[in-house]
Chains A and B, each alone.
Chain A
């Protein structure tokens, strides 16, 4: 019975999305909001239970419909996937809370789409089959297309059109890659593929290499890696901030897919295709950090700045994927959790600030002061310190850990300068942003103007996200232990294969 829990993080969002479309929730706004919040809370609790269970009892392999691993589709709940599932569910809960004071009524079907997106993301993290990964990608993409158009206007339509077309091309490339890999390997189960890829010989090696690198193109597009990152700043800045906060997890799906495919399938045991994507990943990641930092410096408003921060974090994460070492992967996981939560919080803070500054909104220009300078200022400075990586917040530990894992190899010669200069650029850009948002004012008496105060639910959501940063420092011991265990499990490929192929339910 307890084994079935592996499928719940996928099933519960699906159930709640359907419930939210049914009559009592479809008609009345308060009921819809209440159901959405309760179901998000339920998803989070289930994810946490799953995380604790997997941490204590080892990975769960859930064979859907009782079809065993290489033939049927399996869900694999190992330490890595349950961590990301828990992160997604928590982020969705914060977004559901934040949106429930008005943002959700600016368009239709916000809450059902939110749950469909969680269904797609959780499914993508849990699945043990590449074709199933494609299907979950499409589920989360179609939900994201509609969410992007939520409360639509001209800018959103243009951004959405480009985003949709790019992702449709990406899906076609994904399918071609899957076709090639299936033709060569005769399987699409990740564990089975990693077993068979080492036995390839002759021309098949080159075919598999083409397939693997086409997959890299797709994941780079989803994760916004350098030449394919151009869609991200525009899309995230034109989406509603609450939607953009939810999208903070979506680039991480691309990073997760890279981590899984290039560690397990084309990793250490891949025979002739050993660490095939590493050189590409490393160079592109460094370039992504640099271009993201330039974007942060050039940004004219807080939302675009945050969108570029997402690009920087993707670059950092992919650089760690390229190193392919247990300690690098552990640092990656810590940094991934931290950066997702903080970037989401920054999008929400940008929304609060822009509501209180009237026409200037979140542009970095002198204007009306914010209505609640102490609350928003404190939130902003915590988020900024965390994202730049200053002590005493979680960004600092993440940064030190990342720098430590690269130390001692010739990689440090490239990575350290780029990463540290980028951090400095972030520091400069965020202090400038804070100064102009909070201190530069036109002389206007703001008492005569209506101030759109932050609602309690919004404040709870933002503080909930921000509180994770100090918590990740206070509980750094157990958390790092978990990350190291998850990374070790991912890199222990042969025992991973054994669990999946023989341990089916």
Chain B
């Protein structure tokens, strides 16, 4: 289970970083989303992966660590809000700058592609 989980996180981070390095806003936003999914999974595993443990209720001696769950919840909410913001900003940038390059101007080779 650990191997599968770790490779999931790893693949997500790799894809995220690859997409972040693109120069257009849409891939960058996708990359950010993937990176935040990877981060959420990673945070969750910080409390160690366990199966069939109780939640922290009552007086059970054996329970799953509740803190990473709380952290992940917070991270998801914040990540959602930030993604929404960056999407709106990207659309605004597309409208204001006339293209979706992160620097606001197209490189020559990109121009040719468009033609």
A is bound by B: yes
Interface residues of A (CB under 8 A from B): 131, 135, 138, 142, 145, 149, 152-154, 157-158, 160-162, 164-165, 168-169, 171-172, 175-176, 178-180, 182-183, 188
- Besides A171-B82, A175-B75, 19 more A-B contacts (Cβ < 8 Å) are A131-B74, A135-B74, A135-B78, A142-B85, A152-B96, A158-B103, A161-B89, A165-B28, A168-B36, A168-B82, A168-B86, A172-B32, A175-B39, A179-B42, A179-B45, A179-B46, A179-B71, A183-B46, A188-B67
Known: A131-B74, A165-B102, A179-B42. A160 touches B89 (CB 8 A): yes
**Separation of A56 and B16 alpha carbons in the complex (Å):** 51
**Separation of A149 and B68 alpha carbons in the complex (Å):** 34
**Separation of A131 and B60 alpha carbons in the complex (Å):** 27
Closest A residue to B104 using CB positions? A158
Contact B104 A138 (CB under 8 A): no
Known: A135-B74, A180-B46. A169 touches B96 (CB 8 A): no
Known: A135-B78, A162-B102. A182 touches B86 (CB 8 A): no
CB within 8 Å of A: which B22-81 residues: 25, 28, 32, 35-36, 38-39, 42-43, 45-48, 67-68, 71, 74-75, 78-79, 81
Closest A residue to B42 using CB positions? A179
Contact A145 B67 (CB under 8 A): no
Enumerate chain B residues within 8 angstroms of A176, measured Cβ to Cβ: 39, 42
Q: Tell which of B38, B48, B71 touches A131, judged by Cβ atoms closer than 8 Å.
A: B71
Enumerate chain A residues within 8 angstroms of B92, measured Cβ to Cβ: 152, 157
How many chain B residues touch A (CB < 8 A): the figure is 34
Contact A182 B46 (CB under 8 A): yes
Contact B46 A158 (CB under 8 A): no
Closest A residue to B16 using CB positions? A172
**Separation of A180 and B45 alpha carbons in the complex (Å):** 10
**Separation of A188 and B68 alpha carbons in the complex (Å):** 11
21 examples of A-B residue contacts, CB within 8 angstroms? A157-B89, A157-B93, A158-B96, A158-B103, A161-B25, A161-B90, A164-B85, A164-B89, A168-B32, A168-B86, A169-B35, A171-B79, A172-B36, A172-B39, A175-B43, A175-B75, A179-B42, A179-B46, A182-B46, A182-B47, A182-B67
Contact A165 B86 (CB under 8 A): yes
Enumerate chain A residues within 8 angstroms of B38, measured Cβ to Cβ: 172
Enumerate chain A residues within 8 angstroms of B71, measured Cβ to Cβ: 131, 178-179, 182
Q: Tell which of B81, B86, B97 touches A157, judged by Cβ atoms closer than 8 Å.
A: B97
Contact A154 B97 (CB under 8 A): yes
How far in angstroms is the closest Cβ of chain A from B28?
6
How far in angstroms is the closest Cβ of chain B from A56?
36
Enumerate chain B residues within 8 angstroms of A188, measured Cβ to Cβ: 67
Contact A179 B43 (CB under 8 A): yes
Contact B28 A154 (CB under 8 A): no
User: Which secondary structure dominates where chain B touches chain A?
Assistant: helix
Closest B residue to A131 using CB positions? B71
Query: Mask for B91-114, Cβ within 8 A of A = 1, else 0?
Result: 011001100001110000000000
Enumerate chain A residues within 8 angstroms of B104, measured Cβ to Cβ: 154, 157-158, 161
Contact A158 B86 (CB under 8 A): no
Contact B97 A182 (CB under 8 A): no
Closest A residue to B33 using CB positions? A168
Contact B89 A138 (CB under 8 A): no
Enumerate chain A residues within 8 angstroms of B42, measured Cβ to Cβ: 175-176, 179
Enumerate chain A residues within 8 angstroms of B89, measured Cβ to Cβ: 145, 149, 157, 160-161, 164
How far in angstroms is the closest Cβ of chain B from A165?
6
Closest B residue to A158 using CB positions? B104
Enumerate chain A residues within 8 angstroms of B74, measured Cβ to Cβ: 131, 135
Contact B43 A169 (CB under 8 A): no
Q: Tell which of B47, B75, B81, B93 touches A142, judged by Cβ atoms closer than 8 Å.
A: B81
**Separation of A182 and B46 alpha carbons in the complex (Å):** 6
Contact A169 B46 (CB under 8 A): no
Contact A138 B82 (CB under 8 A): yes
How far in angstroms is the closest Cβ of chain B from A367?
27
**Separation of A164 and B32 alpha carbons in the complex (Å):** 11
**Separation of A73 and B38 alpha carbons in the complex (Å):** 26
**Separation of A320 and B8 alpha carbons in the complex (Å):** 41
How far in angstroms is the closest Cβ of chain A from B22?
11
Enumerate chain B residues within 8 angstroms of A145, measured Cβ to Cβ: 85, 89
How far in angstroms is the closest Cβ of chain A from B51?
18
Enumerate chain B residues within 8 angstroms of A171, measured Cβ to Cβ: 78-79, 82
**Separation of A180 and B47 alpha carbons in the complex (Å):** 10
Contact A161 B35 (CB under 8 A): no
**Separation of A283 and B76 alpha carbons in the complex (Å):** 36
How far in angstroms is the closest Cβ of chain A from B93?
5
**Separation of A145 and B32 alpha carbons in the complex (Å):** 17
**Separation of A176 and B32 alpha carbons in the complex (Å):** 14
**Separation of A160 and B92 alpha carbons in the complex (Å):** 11
How far in angstroms is the closest Cβ of chain A from B110?
16
Contact B78 A138 (CB under 8 A): yes
How far in angstroms is the closest Cβ of chain B from A174?
9
**Separation of A183 and B86 alpha carbons in the complex (Å):** 30
**Separation of A157 and B96 alpha carbons in the complex (Å):** 7
Known: A158-B104, A179-B43. A142 touches B82 (CB 8 A): yes
**Separation of A164 and B86 alpha carbons in the complex (Å):** 7
Most buried by B among A164, A169, A172, A182: A172
The 10 closest A-B pairs by CB, nearest first: A183-B46, A179-B46, A158-B104, A157-B96, A179-B43, A175-B39, A182-B46, A172-B35, A161-B93, A172-B39
Enumerate chain B residues within 8 angstroms of A161, measured Cβ to Cβ: 25, 89-90, 93, 102, 104
